Each structure stands twice: as structure tokens, then as C-alpha cells.
């Protein structure tokens, strides 16, 4: 099989078949053994709880998929490369979806109509498609360290504008998460180099609530509080943007919602920061820090 073969259904089928033959006729060694992600297969299935299992071995095809367009001087990823597992996962994932929904990728190639725009943390433990159980095409995404939204971030605002003006999403979810390393770093007095410039945005948010956050004795709880307040600040910054104001002014139905994900339980919860129009925004902006923390205390009782 050529490493520079064009991407077609027929050579995909040949590669998948070769992988399957090797996987079912050889014995895996513990060192390089792996199991395919069963949940990905189930996720796109039509309800049946079928489990497919493939094992790795040292006799995989010598080269895996490689785009002819990006063919460069470096050798192709073969079975001994650390990334080979990912390419094999992808082959099987694609095949599994095609088997269950033959037109899935054809439909996707015609365009996207996601109803949700997700602004989350870059943390690998908070993958939006997994957490929301949405398929490719169902959630538009922007992620950065600690889900910070500031009014001068052209990257984030460009994605927001596309989501609101072009895709016409119905919900903007800003999702923080407990155990956020970015928020914990912002709470500390340590310097972390270049990233200090980014974390300064979170420190600014904390400064507005210093007395209430500093009065929390438990370090972990203090961090959880700042995760929530940082999320609130991002929700309000999105809602205050000219993009959202213009959308509401022209009658577009779209809300901005703050959520928090708990990496210890997998649960996603609403934080009570829900802005559907300019009136909601004014109400949220009028809430004083003491009232916010009093409400937070009450919900914990
Ligand atoms: Zn984080």
C-alpha cells in the first residue's frame, strides 16, 4: 500500500480490512496492547449496544493514512510510531460511523448547523462533544486556558461573531470546571512566565471579589469559587459584546449561559448566570459581590 495514495473510499476500505485481519489473527503483547474506544462506536450507533474490539500488534501495515497534499520529506507514520494508534483509531471510527450511517460524512460535508456554541477551558478532561454527547457538527467551539473571555481577544470574538451572525446558534455556553489549573495558578502568587499575562485577566476578576474569596478558608473551595466567578465574568463579557447586543436588537433568540463541569463526577451544572436579553444583562450587572457570595452560600446549605 502506498503511503501517498489518494484518500478514497476504496483505499480506506483496504486499510481498514488490513488492520482488521492483523488484529484478529495475531496475539497482542501487553506492552503495545490497546483497546479501541468502545464508546465512540456506540455513540453513533442506532441504539444497539454493540462492542467491537481490536488489538494492536507488531505486524500492522507498514504505513497508515497520509495526505498526498501534505507529503513532505519526513517518513510516514508507520506502526512503530507513537501516533499510529491515533490513526488506527480514526480509521475504525470512520468505518464504524459509515456502517451505521452511510451518509453521515456526506451530510456533514454540505455544511454545519450547530445550535450550541461552547466556550470552554483547553483542559483535556473537559471535551465538549463528549460531555454534551453531541456528534460532529452539533457544537461550535472556542477553548482557551480557563475559559477566559475578554473584550480585546480578537480570536475569541471572531469565533463568537461567526457563531452568532452566520451559524445562528441558539445557545452560548461558557463552561468553567472545578480543578482548573489556570484558575489555581491565578490564585497563587507564583510566576509562570508568559502565561502570567493571560492569568492577569483572572486575577482582575478575583480583585473585584477579593474580600469574599479571601474569606473562604479552604484552598480548594476558594478555587471553586473563583472558577464560578471567572465563568460569570466571561458570560457577562460575551453578553456585553456588540455582537450579542446586535443579535438581540434584531430579534435573534439566543442566550448566554454559565455552566461548571466537575471533573470528579462528570456532572455539568448551571451556575445561575443566564442572559437572554439586555434586561437580563442589566440585572446580572447590578448584583453586588456580597449578594453573589451570599447566594452561593445559600445554595450550598
Ligand atoms: Zn481549566
For every residue of the chain, DSSP letters joined together read --TT----HHHHHHHHHHHHHHHHHSPPPGGG-----HHHHHHTSSS----------TTS-S-----STT--SSPP--TTSTTHHHHHHHHHHHHHHHHH-TTHHHHHHT----SEEEEEE--TT--HHHHHT--TTSEEEEEEGGG---TT-HHHHHHHHIIIIIS--SEEEEEEEET-HHHHHHHSS---GGGHHHHHHHHHHHHTTHHHHHT--SHHHHHHHHHHHHHHHHHHHHHHSHHHHHHHHTT---EEEEEEEETTT--EEEEEEEE-SHHHHHHHHT--HHHHHHHHHHHH-
Q: Does residue 177 have an active-site annotation?
A: yes
Separation of 229 CA from ligand 1 center, angstroms? 14
- Mean pLDDT calculated for residue range 116-121: 98
Which residue among 65, 121, 175, 223 is the active-site one? 121
Per-residue model confidence (pLDDT) at position 44: 44
- 15 Cα–ligand 1 center, Å: 38
180 is catalytic: yes
156 is catalytic: no
Q: What percent of the chain has pLDDT over 70?
A: 74
Of 54-68, 69-83, 176-190, the least confident? 54-68
Which of 65, 79, 175, 180 is flagged as catalytic? 180
* pLDDT band (50, 70, 90) for residue 2: very low
The arithmetic mean of pLDDT across residues 144-159, rounded, is 98
Tell me whether residue 123 is one of the annotated catalytic residues. Answer: yes
pLDDT recorded at residue 24: 37
pLDDT tens-digit readout, 252-263:
999 999 999 999
Bind-site residues for Zn(2+): 121, 123, 177, 180
Question: What confidence tier does 301 reach under pLDDT thresholds 50, 70, 90?
Answer: low
Q: Which of 41-50, 72-81, 111-120, 271-280 has the lowest mean pLDDT?
A: 41-50
pLDDT at residue number 16: 47
Residue with more model confidence, 69 or 125: 125
Binding site, annotated residues:
121, 123, 177, 180
Q: How confident is the model at residue 222 (pLDDT cuts 50, 70, 90)?
A: very high
Is 224 labeled as catalytic in the residue annotation? no
Locate the domains of the chain by residue range: 9-107, 112-300
Among 123, 175, 223, 284, the one annotated catalytic: 123
pLDDT score of 31: 30
Domain covering 112-300 assigned CATH 3.40.50.300 in the classification: no
Tell how far the Cα of 182 is from the centroid of ligand 1, in angstroms: 5
The answer to whether residue 110 scores a pLDDT higher than 50 is: yes
- Kindly name the residue from 125, 214, 288, 290 that is annotated as catalytic: 125
What's the pLDDT at 231? 98
Distance between Cα 261 and ligand 1 center (Å): 10
Report CA(265)–ligand 1 centroid distance (Å). Answer: 15
Q: Tell me the pLDDT of the chain averaged across its residues.
A: 83
What spacing in Å lies between the alpha carbon of 102 and ligand 1's midpoint?
A: 37
Which has more pLDDT, 296 or 251?
251
Amino acid at each position: 500500500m502506498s503511503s501517498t495514495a489518494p484518500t478514497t473510499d476504496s483505499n480506506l476500505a483496504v486499510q481498514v480490512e488490513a488492520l482488521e485481519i492483523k488484529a484478529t489473527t495475531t496475539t497482542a503483547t501487553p506492552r503495545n496492547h490497546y483497546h479501541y474506544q468502545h464508546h465512540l462506536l456506540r455513540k453513533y450507533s442506532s441504539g444497539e449496544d454493540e462492542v467491537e474490539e481490536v488489538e494492536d500488534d507488531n505486524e500492522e501495515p507498514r504505513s497508515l493514512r497520509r495526505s498526498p497534499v501534505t507529503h513532505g520529506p519526513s517518513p510516514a507514520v508507520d506502526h512503530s510510531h507513537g501516533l499510529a494508534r491515533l490513526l488506527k483509531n480514526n480509521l475504525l471510527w470512520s468505518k464504524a460511523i459509515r456502517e451505521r450511517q452511510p451518509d453521515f460524512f456526506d451530510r456533514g460535508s454540505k455544511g454545519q448547523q450547530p445550535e450550541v456554541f461552547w466556550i470552554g477551558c483547553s483542559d483535556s478532561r473537559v471535551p465538549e462533544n463528549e460531555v454534551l454527547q453531541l456528534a460532529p457538527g452539533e457544537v461550535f467551539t472556542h477553548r482557551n486556558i480557563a475559559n477566559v473571555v475578554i473584550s480585546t481577544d480578537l480570536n475569541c470574538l471572531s469565533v463568537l461573531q461567526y457563531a452568532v451572525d452566520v451559524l445562528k446558534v441558539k445557545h452560548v455556553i461558557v463552561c468553567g470546571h472545578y480543578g482548573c489549573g489556570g484558575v489555581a495558578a491565578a490564585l497563587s502568587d507564583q510566576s509562570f512566565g508568559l502565561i502570567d499575562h493571560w492569568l492577569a485577566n483572572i486575577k482582575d476578576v478575583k480583585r473585584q471579589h477579593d474580600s469574599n474569596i479571601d474569606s473562604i478558608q479552604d484552598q480548594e473551595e476558594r478555587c471553586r469559587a473563583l472558577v464560578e466567578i471567572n465563568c460569570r465574568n466571561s458570560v457577562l463579557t460575551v453578553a456585553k459584546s456588540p455582537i450579542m447586543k446586535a443579535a438581540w436588537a434584531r430579534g435573534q433568540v439566543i442566550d448566554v449561559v454559565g455552566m461548571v463541569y466537575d471533573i470528579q463526577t462528570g456532572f455539568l451544572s448551571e451556575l445561575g448566570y443566564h442572559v437572554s436579553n439586555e434586561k437580563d444583562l442589566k440585572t446580572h450587572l447590578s448584583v453586588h459581590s456580597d449578594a453573589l457570595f451570599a447566594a452561593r452560600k445559600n445554595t450550598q446549605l
